[in-house]
Structure 1
Amino acid sequence: MSLTQSFSSGIVQAPFVTSSRLLLKTWGVISSRDEDVVHHVGKGLVWKVCEESDLTVVVFDVKNDFDLQQNLVSSTYLKENNNFHRFEFLCTKKILEFSVNWSAVSLFIDNFEKLDQLKSKINSSHRLIVTGHGVGGAIASLFTVLLLESIGTGKKRPLCITFGSPLIGDKKLQEAISRSSIWNSCFLHVVSYKDSLPKKLSSQPVDYMPFGTFLFCSDTGATCFENPESVLELLVSSISGQSQGFEVADYGKLVENLYRKSICKNLIPRGLNLTHSTSLNSSIRFQLSAALGLSSDIQQLQHQNIDINALATKLEALEKKFMSQKKVKFDPSKKLNMMKIDMANFELYKKLCKSQGIGYYDCFKKDTSTDDQDVIPSQKRLRNYWSDMVEEAEMKPQTEAAAFRTRWLFAGTNYRRMVEPLYIAEYYAKDLRKDYEAKGRSRHYIVLEKWLEEDKKEKGDSNGKTRRNVESILTFDSCFWAKLEEALLLCGQLENSTGNEEGKGKLVEFENYVYESLKKYEVSPEIFLKGSSYMSWWNKYKESADNHRLASFMSSPQHFDQYTEGAYFFP
């Protein structure tokens, strides 16, 4: 039996938020009538900018006649019919589109020119809070989403704090924002249990989903939830206790009350029966009691029409699922040290093979010693790691994915050049296997190679001849060995008189490819070791050689030594 205990820490996190005076400060700007603050008026929307020495607060509000509808509109529709591309950076290869509330985004689009000017004027050296109450909070969220594109280019991340804001998008939008922990951390939504507006869209049959951190609060306390499914369940479950109309929550009074209570240690309502609760269930029930203003009084619970036991049990299941997903979420940094050890194992294996007069590719291909088997666990771990790495990068939003792959490109290139040859060796060791590049190559190798080529183009790197010592390099083209195996197969076909002019043409093509690769010093000198697959190919093919420059180079072992030292002059 596992003794591991799980806890939900939202009721501990909430006092950190409420005690910081951040909510007091933000609400103070929302409610301020300071005449020195410049107000901007748009179509159905107003906003004001309050600038202090190191802090800028932008407040959004909508005009009284604004009507919030429930319908969603896709980002594809916005792009095609409204020529609105500014949220496209959120899309990934797995999240091709998402949907947002049509009412809110229409208001945003109507004022976009002015909002874009506001975005460009914001001082990046200042801390920035974007905020709004009610539907103004929805506009604040959309404006903050717009700012996310520039995070990672030296600008400080904004913090969006909404009060009683409705949800603004579907599950795909939530997934797009949550792909980046930095992005998701930019949103804090304050919701009073008395306020029906935040719950209006969550009760609809359309696919709305929250994102960011939600601070649920009541007169008795507050708690935080980050799991979007738990937040949605809490919003939906608490609707039944509301009247049909919208109650106006006094957020000013609420945040002031929470600030005063934040230094109190006893956050647990008296009389709450936790006798049969697990640690996770207990902590969730604490949170519900604080967030919804619940007490242990049976009459009050019945009046509020909320079954705290059923709700706590459901949230417990959702939180367990959320915790499990976070545990298995790929974190490249945490596994990096292990991957360095595995790459070091390959370096040792490579040196060991060379000391025996054979390259590590051919040594692994022949599989004649325990050393060849010992390297397999490292081979598999590295492949799994980099497959996950590529998938993770492709799921990130475009700008963050670019920064992500640049950060890991050097390590990924070394991995590809070191490890892919062994998969090529395994592929051709099986009978009737051919055409690895088209039929057998793992997609993550293709993507890693594409990233390298894109990086070269961005930096303007040339592929000109570079003479240098190449004794310890890895062959640049990790598919060199696959091309070599295809050439060996073609030689075998020609020996058996089954070849044709097309096969001879492919051999000439490979011959020229080898020469050009050598000319740029991009091939490991291991290929010249006795018994290598390359030397086996050359001995079969040299009588038919078409490239006299390669034949001249291959005519003397002394040339191999000169090549290794970077001293051979290729004509």
Structure 2
Amino acid sequence: MGNWNRDLRESSTWELLRRCCSLSMAAHQSPDAPFLLDWFPSSFSSPPPSPAYAIFAFPGSWSAADWLSEQVSDDPFGSCEVDGDLFPSLMTVFRSVPAVVHAGFLRCFRRILQDSALRAEASILFSCFASVHQVKLRPFPGKVDRALNCKRQIVFTGHSSGGAISALAAIWLLDSLKLHDSQDFPLCVTFGSPLVGNDVFTNSLLREGWSCYFLNFVMNFDIVPRILLAPFRSIKKDLQAILHLLFSKWSCFSLSFVENSQLATFFATILKNSQDITTKRACMLMRCTNPLLQTFTSFTQLSPYRPFGAYVFCTMGGSLLMVTNSEAVLQLLFHFLQMDYEQKVEEVADRSLNEHLLYEAEVQKSFKIPDIVHLDNLQAVPLSLRNAFSKEMQLLGILFRDLGLSADARLRLCAIGEQENQRERNQVTVDETRSKIEDAMKFLKEYQEKCKNRGLGYYDTFKLQKHYDDFDANVKRIELAGLWDQIVEMLKRCELPGKFESRKEWVELGTSYRRLVEPLDIANYYRHAKNEDTGPYLLKGRPSRYTYTQSWLEYIHRMDMGSCPDSCFWANVEELCIDTNNGKLYFELKDRITELEKQAEAWHSQGLLSGDVFLGESTFLKWWKTLPQEHRSKSHIRRYIDAKVLKRLDVPPFDDARKGASVGVRSGELPVETPVKGPYG
């Protein structure tokens, strides 16, 4: 099976989902076991039957301590940042802001991950993958290894909070498999699961293309998927009693554990908080300018949790509604919980708990004759049956009418659809600018070659601005800045599709742009002495278009944050020149000087730093000549400096200088100069 979005209409998929649902409910009644494992089909023939699955079902937690997370999080909603080592993909590209997840569920998953039962079996898969793909994998728990080694597709599943744990397990495995070409991506299906993470969590899955591996079944009135929309202090008093009731065996199911008024208060609290957050999100979607919105937000605590993956809403009539847009799911979680005027709060609250334990019966019934309505084209959602022109929209309109979905809810769905379409239009606009970016960069590359031929270099020629083409290069720099600033701002505001950040052609273009053009921005910054008013370029003056494209590259290649600052070389040179001219002593700057030389040597050997850096009249070499004689005589960058210049400076040539001539500067390119005596001798 590839993913849920593509395979949900196949009969074999329903058979798998029935098995997952049954195993999840079995785990529900086995909370002491860390997980249940089912091989489906059970045959272990070689080769295995196709398709073949290993289903891991996680039990939910029925302790309020795990839900409230008071011992591990001070946040009113029990959230904490994810561990970057465990979930390296769950972060923003810009500034690597980690996703926020429910601290209690994360702690439960860590316990399961560290459990000795999971590591009991030998890691055959690890040795196979290490030899075939030659990549260092993090060790997998033993039973997951065994399942993969048996050529079984992993399926993680769970009911209630067990579903949240299964989602974390799936992301953990997806992250582990990301570094090689395996197509055996795990699947995850949950039943009545609470929410798990925030916007960053959801957007990270979209960016990685993993959302299609997650499927969440929700009964219309099930209260559990909505619980985390309320702050814990508002439900703390009643939560343990509610969880005790939900854990009860079906045969013992009774409201005698909880008073009707207590249950009604619990339900009303969650409904109110759901309304608060969905109303705010709807106002943001519709560009509401009412100042009351800001006032409301300032004193109201809103849940950070958001839906992710595909949601299948199960109606009591047997129809299934599938929704993949996170914002639409959030709105439906609230609007499907609405009551008729004739209904009492106590009745709906009672139903909201009953439905949490009816998944197996209801879902199994639905699976006999799958009747799925896909809510894909949100912008075309009919406000009434009279507006439903296509057959699909008529079916959707009838379903919404039967579910009692209000006109306000439909209007919000239309607004979400418009936002989704606007992102697609923005992507088309950005793609159309690519040719403009490439043309401008082509001009600057030609300009770079002209500068080399003049014997001064790209950076210094631009900084001096003595020729007509220097002016033209500055115009291209400004044009490119405008184009990239627009793209980066769209990415920051999530105005492009989630997968845009994973498009390698744009990552490569952004990296080429940064390495080609940032030196010109640095030259312009110090040419106009902006550092005197604003401060050093790297601290105060670096535009976000460069920090973003650098973070982009580091994220895609899983590098440490800030590990690719090659385009900032000239900013470090300028600051060292300023400190030297201001009278700082050599020993005060020695560490920075040594680090800069190491970087120059490494980046030049990798082709990231042009040879014109070592031209005789370059800013770098003029400064380097002022360093103490002893330092210059031992510096490894001598190999890239013209022999005549070294001779004038009484600096011995590097032993391997002739071997490195192909990457250095050819002898005879530089004018003969008089040695410069700097402050260091």
TM-score by length of 1: 0.64
Q: CA deviation at 1:427?
A: 0.8
Match of 1:119 among 120, 144, 148: 144
1:319 aligns with 2:417: yes
Map 1:48-127; keep pairs closer than 5 Å.
Answer: 48-52=37-41, 53-54=49-50, 55-58=52-55, 60=57, 62=59, 71-73=67-69, 77=73, 89=88, 92=91, 95-96=97-98, 98-100=100-102, 102=104, 106=108, 109=111, 113=115, 114-115=117-118, 116-123=141-148, 125-127=151-153
C-alpha distance in structure 1 between counterparts of 2:100 and 2:161, whole Å? 20
C-alpha RMSD of the superposition: 6.0
Contact 2:193-2:216 within 8 A present in 1 as well: no
Structure 1 residues 387 and 563, CA, compared in 2 at 3 Å: closer, same or farther?
farther
1:171 aligns with 2:195: no
Partner of residue 464, structure 1: none
Match of 2:176 among 134, 146, 150: 150
Map 1:501-540; keep pairs closer than 5 Å.
Answer: 502=585, 524-526=610-612, 533=619, 537=622
AA of the residue aligned to 2:53: T
Structure 1 residues 528 and 56, CA, compared in 2 at 3 Å: closer, same or farther?
closer
Q: CA deviation at 1:212?
A: 1.0
Map 1:441-456; keep pairs closer than 5 Å.
Answer: 441-442=542-543
1:166 is paired with a residue of what secondary structure? Answer: coil
1:122 is paired with a residue of what secondary structure? Answer: helix
Structure 1 residues 253 and 451, CA, compared in 2 at 3 Å: closer, same or farther?
closer
Map 1:249-260; keep pairs closer than 5 Å.
Answer: 249-258=361-370
Map 1:67-466; keep pairs closer than 5 Å.
Answer: 71-73=67-69, 77=73, 89=88, 92=91, 95-96=97-98, 98-100=100-102, 102=104, 106=108, 109=111, 113=115, 114-115=117-118, 116-123=141-148, 125-133=151-159, 137-154=163-180, 155=182, 156-163=184-191, 165-171=192-198, 174-175=201-202, 177-178=204-205, 180-193=207-220, 198=225, 204=270, 205=273, 207=303, 208-218=305-315, 219=317, 221-241=319-339, 242=348, 244-245=350-351, 246-247=354-355, 248=358, 249-258=361-370, 273-275=384-386, 287=396, 289-290=398-399, 294-295=401-402, 306-324=404-422, 340-355=438-453, 358-367=456-465, 368-369=467-468, 370-377=471-478, 379-380=480-481, 384=485, 414-431=512-529, 433=531, 435-442=536-543
Q: CA deviation at 1:187?
A: 0.7
AA of the residue aligned to 1:316: C
AA of the residue aligned to 1:130: F
Structure 1 residues 167 and 150, CA, compared in 2 at 3 Å: closer, same or farther?
same
Q: CA deviation at 1:430?
A: 1.0
Contact 1:38-1:49 within 8 A present in 2 as well: no
Q: CA deviation at 1:180?
A: 3.6
Contact 2:221-2:337 within 8 A present in 1 as well: no
Q: CA deviation at 1:162?
A: 2.7
C-alpha distance in structure 1 between counterparts of 2:421 and 2:188, whole Å? 25
1:239 is paired with a residue of what secondary structure? Answer: coil
Q: CA deviation at 1:287?
A: 3.5
C-alpha distance in structure 1 between counterparts of 2:86 and 2:598, whole Å? 48
1:244 is paired with a residue of what secondary structure? Answer: helix
Q: CA deviation at 1:252?
A: 1.5
Q: CA deviation at 1:229?
A: 2.9
Partner of residue 268, structure 1: none
Indicate the larger mover: 323-332 or 354-363.
323-332
Partner of residue 122, structure 2: none
AA of the residue aligned to 2:417: E
Partner of residue 472, structure 1: none
Q: CA deviation at 1:94?
A: 5.5
Partner of residue 554, structure 1: 645
Indicate the larger mover: 516-525 or 355-364.
516-525
AA of the residue aligned to 1:253: K
Structure 1 residues 257 and 197, CA, compared in 2 at 3 Å: closer, same or farther?
farther
Q: CA offsets, 1:432-491, max 9 Å, x none?
A: 636445553457767988999999999xxxxxxxxxxxxxxxxx9545544554576678
Q: CA deviation at 1:227?
A: 2.5
C-alpha distance in structure 1 between counterparts of 2:215 and 2:545, whole Å? 36
Map 1:20-59; keep pairs closer than 5 Å.
Answer: 20-30=10-20, 43=32, 47-52=36-41, 53-54=49-50, 55-58=52-55
AA of the residue aligned to 2:57: F
C-alpha distance in structure 2 between counterparts of 1:381 and 1:336, whole Å? 13
Indicate the larger mover: 445-454 or 20-29.
445-454
Contact 1:76-1:97 within 8 A present in 2 as well: no
AA of the residue aligned to 1:118: K
Structure 1 residues 519 and 60, CA, compared in 2 at 3 Å: closer, same or farther?
closer
Partner of residue 562, structure 2: none
Q: CA deviation at 1:222?
A: 3.4
Structure 1 residues 284 and 329, CA, compared in 2 at 3 Å: closer, same or farther?
farther
Identity %: 20
C-alpha distance in structure 2 between counterparts of 1:119 and 1:508, whole Å? 48
Return the structure number with greater relative CO, CA threshold 8 A, min gap 6: 1
Contact 1:99-1:172 within 8 A present in 2 as well: no
Task: Structure 1: give runs of 5+ residues left out of the alignment.
Answer: 1-12, 264-270, 296-303, 393-399, 459-475, 494-498
Structure 1 residues 91 and 545, CA, compared in 2 at 3 Å: closer, same or farther?
same
Q: CA deviation at 1:58?
A: 0.9
Q: CA deviation at 1:144?
A: 2.3
C-alpha distance in structure 2 between counterparts of 1:409 and 1:428, whole Å? 28
Q: CA deviation at 1:193?
A: 3.6
TM-score by length of 2: 0.55
Q: CA deviation at 1:278?
A: 10
C-alpha distance in structure 2 between counterparts of 1:87 and 1:508, whole Å? 34
Contact 1:390-1:448 within 8 A present in 2 as well: no
AA of the residue aligned to 2:38: V
Aligned residues: 495
Structure 1 residues 66 and 387, CA, compared in 2 at 3 Å: closer, same or farther?
closer
Contact 1:332-1:389 within 8 A present in 2 as well: no
